[in-house]
Amino acid sequence: MLNKKMKIVIAGGGTAGWIAAAALSNQMGEILDVTLVESQEIGTIGVGEATIPPMRTFHRLLGINEQEFMRATNATFKLGIQFENWKQIGEKYFHSFGITGKQTLITDFIHFWLRGRELGIANEFGDYCLEYKAALKDRFSINDQAKINYAFHLDAGRYASFLRARAEARGVKRVEGKIAEVQQNPESGFIASLKMDSGQEIPGDLFLDCTGMRGLLIEQTLQTGFEEWGHWLPCDSAIAIQTESTTPAVPYTKSIAHHAGWRWKIPLQHRVGNGLVFSGQHLSKDEALNMLLSSVDGKVLTEPNVIKFKTGRRKKSWNKNCIAMGLASGFLEPLESTSIHMIMTAVTRLLQLFPHGEIRQSIVDEYNAQAESEFVRIRDFIILHYKATERDDSPFWRYCKDMEIPVDLKHRMELFKDFGKSNQVEGELFRLDSWTQVMLGQGIVPSSYHPIVELMSEQELQNFLKSVAAEVDKNIGMLSTHQDFINKYCGAM
């Protein structure tokens, strides 16, 4: 045990602040003194309501009961994302959370599928994936016979409240009020304390900046710098509203491209989250709002929340004794539902590299290197959706189609086009299946496949493909409808 508890001060609440508070108090509460500062007068964006499967691992780390969490947040299940109008207007494809087919040590399933497609004996690629077919048939269950990979749609505000209750039960202290001044050590430049508008001073050893895009500590105080990526991701605005549910919730998010960006539809138990992401250079705010309002079903429950953003990242996520988390660390549009995940990886990274007493530069450098790698890999995956398009119906899409892209992404796209290979980097969030589904969906079809698949006779290949598809169909038969399972498993009161 340390002789003295390390003082952690979290500036800002919302999803980022309370995820950090809940995780730190759960894992290291006995040796930390955690204080979270937030003001009820400062609103949170609260639109990151779709998630990805690693969230379940994080919840297990915190000992969170899934049914309790889902009831508290009016959550539904998510098996992937349906993309509409991204390749061409009127076309759809699906990025599922599942593994498609079966692969060998030598090569991936797509090579068997490509050969089968050439011979005219292969089904649609998604027919070999349980999660894909379950989503489109509106089926879902959790059972040992048909194991399924899933995430959630949730109410972000209720999720923050749920985590707050857990954190406070473990000793996290919450201070209400606005931060009037960030006080620094005159010699080291380290943050010494936060001075509240009430006059109260809150000293700390390590400060977590969860103040959103304004980055009160990491940027306004420490002037860390920001690396902009708007030339690759030209959308800079979003509008979000909530509507009443008019139909049962489907187990997937919808992402529907329009002439200057895209819009989302996220079904919860009690309502639907809707939003429109756009480039202000190609669409005015009033035009965007009219487009969004004309596209929704059901009664509008909230005033439109207009969000301006810059895509990019802080040049350092950890600077001196301050770590930026959530929107304070950077912004990537929510196209692949990564915002909550990146908060969770940030706090997990801190737990793994937690300093023992003095903050040493080697730890800071390692944290920053890992954070940068994560940001860049996810950024490239999102750029892929824009670059690999056949749309040329608007200036926005013509720009995306013609723009220069990062070297690593260009190599990945060329490798897939030439050989059907998705080159996954160690520790990368998005797996081979994700890259494969999006590239195929966006119209990048490999021109060749691995020669080893020709060792199979046509009949053997046909039998193999049929057996994989039959196994998927057998498992689909074991699943309930999504709504029936929600009602039984986690229906909100």
Catalytic residue IDs: 78
Q: Which helix (H) or strand (E) holds 124?
A: none
Calpha distance 219→213 (Å, rounded): 9
Q: Which of 326, 13, 31, 52 is nearest to 21 (CA)?
A: 13
Which sign does the torsion angle of CA 256, 259, 262, 267 carry?
negative
Q: Are 251 and 269 in contact (CB under 8 A)?
A: no
Measured distance CA(220)–CA(224) in Å, rounded: 8
Which residues have a Cβ under 8 Å from the Cβ of 57 and sit 6 or more positions away? none
The whole-angstrom separation of Cα 59 and Cα 36 is 21
AA identity, residue 414:
E
Q: What are phi and psi of 330, to 5 degrees?
A: 150, 175
The CA distances from residue 390 to 17, 87, 387, in Å, are 41, 5, 9
Distance CA 419, CA 64 (A): 43
Structure tokens at 180: 């009037």
Integer-rounded Cα radius of gyration of the chain: 23
Residues in the chain: 493
The CA-CA-CA angle for residues 262, 293, 47, to 5°, reads: 60
The DSSP secondary structure of 432-469, one letter per residue, reads HHHHHHHHHHTT---S---GGGGGS-HHHHHHHHHHHH
